[in-house]
Copies of this chain bind each other. A is one copy, B any other.
Amino acid sequence: MSALQRRVYNLIRDDDTNDLASNIFDGFIIVLIVVNVAQVVLDTFDLPPWAVAASLYVEYFSIAVFTLEYALRVWCAPCMYPEARPARARVRYVFRFMSIVDLLAILPFYIPFIIPIDLRVLRSLRLLRLFRLFKVNRYTSALSTIGTVLRKKSSQLVSSVFIVALLMLISAVLMYNFENEAQPDVFTNAFDSLWWAVATFTTVGYGDIYPVTPAGRFLGAVIGLLGIGLVAVPTGIISAGFMEQIDEGKAEADDNKKFCPYCGHRLDE
């Protein structure tokens, strides 16, 4: 890798160095992300023509910067994985989670130039750049603890989500059969009653759709009470995970505190 590549890499990589140029670059990117978020939010209001134009310029400018940054990062990838060949390093970088997020944030802008379709929804993907803010906040260690706990317990969490999904599907079809006759316009098909099942299991209960027949209400009551379990089981899993995390921290601290009761020798675990 060339010296230029290395210098650019030092500028744009995500670290906590006190290098002035690097900090200015980081600050500039953060400001641009915040401006982009503000612009996406403001675009949902009825803006006067000059503001629409300004919003467009902000978008052009941000996309240009983010595209350039993305290109530079790909170009500098070999500095990140010095042990790999440059081409492989770049491929590896492109398929990292955060790189895909970065790409999703700029790609929707270019698609209409190639295929002329309206991608307004996709363009709000720019909000994904918000995740970049994580690396600059001072709570990285807390976040990584949360991440570790969720990852460790992922199979239990996925299992409970799987059970909930089955229960939702079954109760949605049952509810459709109970309520369709009484409220044909509300419980029109299984998707409507699936929407009801989600609103009930999560205890959101907007009130746009609810059972009125005795059988439907009985099922609704059972589902509502099971919905409590939907909160209780993952909460229990996650609580235990956090406790385990704390215990492991302590176990490490305790490592040299064990003694054999017969000979009094320290038991190096």
Contact = CB atoms under 8 A, between A and B. Distances in A.
Interface of A: 37, 40-42, 44-45, 120-121, 124, 127-128, 130-131, 133, 137, 139, 141-143, 145-146, 149-150, 155-156, 158-163, 166, 169-170, 173-174, 176-178, 180, 189-191, 193-195, 198-200, 202-208, 210, 214, 217, 220-221, 224-225, 227-246, 257, 259-269
A114 to B, nearest CB: 21
Contact of A204 (B214, B227, B244, B246): B227
28 contacts: A41-B173, A45-B189, A124-B170, A124-B174, A139-B155, A143-B163, A146-B159, A146-B233, A146-B237, A161-B225, A191-B217, A195-B221, A199-B204, A199-B224, A200-B204, A202-B203, A202-B224, A205-B206, A208-B210, A228-B230, A229-B234, A239-B239, A239-B243, A240-B242, A260-B263, A261-B265, A262-B263, A264-B264
A139 B210 CA distance: 33
Contacts of A37: 169
Nearest to A256: B268
A259 B261 contact: yes
Contacts of A230: 228
A25 to B, nearest CB: 22
B246 A238 contact: no
A8 to B, nearest CB: 29
Contacts of A155: 139, 141-142
Nearest to A164: B225
Contacts of A145: 156
Contacts of A143: 159, 163
Nearest to A180: B44
Given A121-B174, A139-B155, A146-B160, 20 more contacts: A44-B180, A121-B177, A127-B169, A127-B173, A139-B156, A143-B163, A146-B156, A195-B221, A205-B205, A207-B208, A228-B234, A232-B238, A235-B235, A236-B239, A236-B240, A239-B240, A240-B242, A244-B246, A257-B269, A260-B263
